[in-house]
Amino acid sequence: MPSDADETHLLRALALARKGWGDTHPNPMVGAAVVEGGKIVAEGFHARAGTPHAEVKALQALGRRPLAGATLYVTLEPCSTHGRTPPCVQAILDAGLRRVVVGTVDPNPLHAGNGIELLRAAGVEVTLAFGPLEVACRELNFLFNHWMVHRRTLVAMKVARDATGRTVPVPGQRFITGELARADMMQWRRLFPVIAIGAGTALADNPQLTARLPEGAFAPVRLLLDRSGRTAGQGHLQIFSDSYRSQTIVALDVRQTSPEQRTWFKGQGLQTLEISSGDFLKQVFQHATDSGWLGVFVEPGPVLGAALIAARLIDRAWIYTAPSGKADPSSQSWLNKVLIADGASVLNLGEDTLISGSWK
């Protein structure tokens, strides 16, 4: 059982892991710390795929062999197989560490527990976190975990509404929710490798689809679901004309668009995803899986949102709810029932409330 000191050091490793927020795909975020005599003497986190893992970074930062009695704290079970980088289990053994505290086990059913077993077989004491701390270490990588278990892209839906279920701001206002809620949304945009919207949202709101944070703006892949090519010729749209336009992909249904429309998008330097058979939405998300995208953060309007719900394509949802009167009363009320499974997270953000979790 981990001690209070173990929990303190593992919380620090968890904070280190979060430094890789949005940058490690398709790998998980992982943090590690080496502790000697009750004090952290070296730290590391996984920054990007292909770079050293957190355990190796921490040992490199130490610059010497750990002292006898040192403990390594790591948020995720050390890897036991050789991928882009050598296995971390071997690095731990080579360093002579005799105790490791692990935040959560590897979510891959083929590898779960292997690293821990190898360490224990070599005489290393391995302590596992439990309770809220284990949950925090596991949930940090919910995108990676979903991919490992289901081998497909996680489809998330973000909706900002008022208490009546309406999602269109009152005339003259740009937003329904307040600053705290919008800042929280930006963090999730930063995490997901892909943000998606429908043609109606693109034409009505002309969004940037970037994560605008105090440290700067970041643009993931921006996926526009425009089945019938309604946005063709709309060169003023920011996702078609800004400096990130090469990261915009327009999903089109060949059966509902003309060659001229499809040529226009390509002429703007945009990528197109042309669906010619099967269900349009399902084929788009199959492409997401084929592309190795761990998650797509969909910010739908009423039409796309209702279609996603009807097709049962949503895995997880973020529902931001503002007080009544923040939305246009003449607009459509389409999300007056939130179908999030038991165990949902509830967060107060000023006047607004965020409910997030797995969608039923």
Closest C-alpha among 170, 182, 111, 103 to residue 350: 182
Residue 353 pairs with which residues in a beta bridge?
Answer: 321, 348
pLDDT of residue 191: 98
Q: Is the model's pLDDT at 163 over the cut of 90?
A: no
Q: Taking the mean position of all CA atoms in its chain, how far away is CA 199?
A: 23
Q: What angle do CA 132, 154, 82 make, to 5 degrees?
A: 75
The answer to the question of residue 227 being in a domain is yes
Q: Is the model's pLDDT at 265 over the cut of 70?
A: yes
Give the three-class secondary structure for 172: coil
* pLDDT tens for each residue of 186-228: 999 999 999 999 999 999 999 999 999 999 999 999 999 999 9
pLDDT of residue 80: 86
DSSP state of 18: G
Q: What is d(CA 68, CA 287) in angstroms, rounded to the nearest whole number?
A: 51
Domain of 87 in residue numbering reads as: 4-141
Strand order in the sheet with 39-45: 39-45, 31-36, 71-74, 99-102, 125-128
* pLDDT tens for each residue of 56-78: 999 999 999 999 999 999 999 99
How many domains is the chain built from? 2
Q: What is d(CA 291, CA 285) in angstroms, rounded to the nearest whole number?
A: 10
Q: What angle do CA 163, 169, 173 make, to 5 degrees?
A: 130
* pLDDT tens for each residue of 92-135: 999 999 999 999 999 988 889 999 999 999 999 999 999 999 99
* pLDDT tens for each residue of 291-302: 999 999 999 998
The string of DSSP letters for 72-127 reads EEESSPPP-S-SSS--HHHHHHHHT--EEEESS----TTTTTHHHHHHHHTT-EEE
Task: Give the mean model confidence (pLDDT) for residues 24-37.
Answer: 98
Q: What angle do CA 243, 281, 237 make, to 5 degrees?
A: 25
Residue 41 sits in a domain of what CATH number? 3.40.140.10
Domain boundary residue, one of 89, 120, 141: 141
pLDDT of residue 73: 99
Q: Is the model's pLDDT at 81 over the cut of 90?
A: no
The answer to the question of residue 64 being in a domain is yes
Domain boundary residue, one of 141, 164, 192: 141
pLDDT of residue 326: 64
Q: Is pLDDT larger for residue 58 or for residue 344?
A: 58
Mean pLDDT (the chain) is 92
pLDDT of residue 171: 72
Q: Is pLDDT larger for residue 328 or for residue 113?
A: 113
Residues of the chain with pLDDT > 70, as a percent, come to 93
Is there a single domain that holds both residue 262 and residue 351?
Answer: yes
What region, left, alpha or beta, does residue 227 occupy, with left being phi > 0 and alpha being psi -120 to 50 degrees? Answer: alpha
The residue assigned the tokens 């008022």 is: 162
Is there a single domain that holds both residue 107 and residue 212?
Answer: no
The string of DSSP letters for 252-281 reads EETTTS-HHHHHHHHHTT-EEEEE-SS-HH
The answer to the question of residue 147 being in a domain is no
Is there a single domain that holds both residue 172 and residue 98?
Answer: no
* pLDDT band of 162, cuts 50, 70, 90: confident
* pLDDT tens for each residue of 283-292: 999 999 999 9
Give the three-class secondary structure for 288: helix
* pLDDT band of 1, cuts 50, 70, 90: confident
Is there a single domain that holds both residue 162 and residue 132?
Answer: no
Active-site residue, 274 included: no
The answer to the question of residue 293 being in a domain is yes
Q: Contact at 8 Å (CB) between 188 and 296?
A: no
pLDDT of residue 344: 83
pLDDT of residue 170: 61
pLDDT of residue 255: 96
Domain boundary residue, one of 118, 141, 164: 141
Task: Give the mean model confidence (pLDDT) for residues 22-34.
Answer: 97
Q: What angle do CA 287, 291, 294 make, to 5 degrees?
A: 100
Active-site annotation holder among 36, 43, 55, 274: 55
Q: Is the model's pLDDT at 266 over the cut of 90?
A: yes
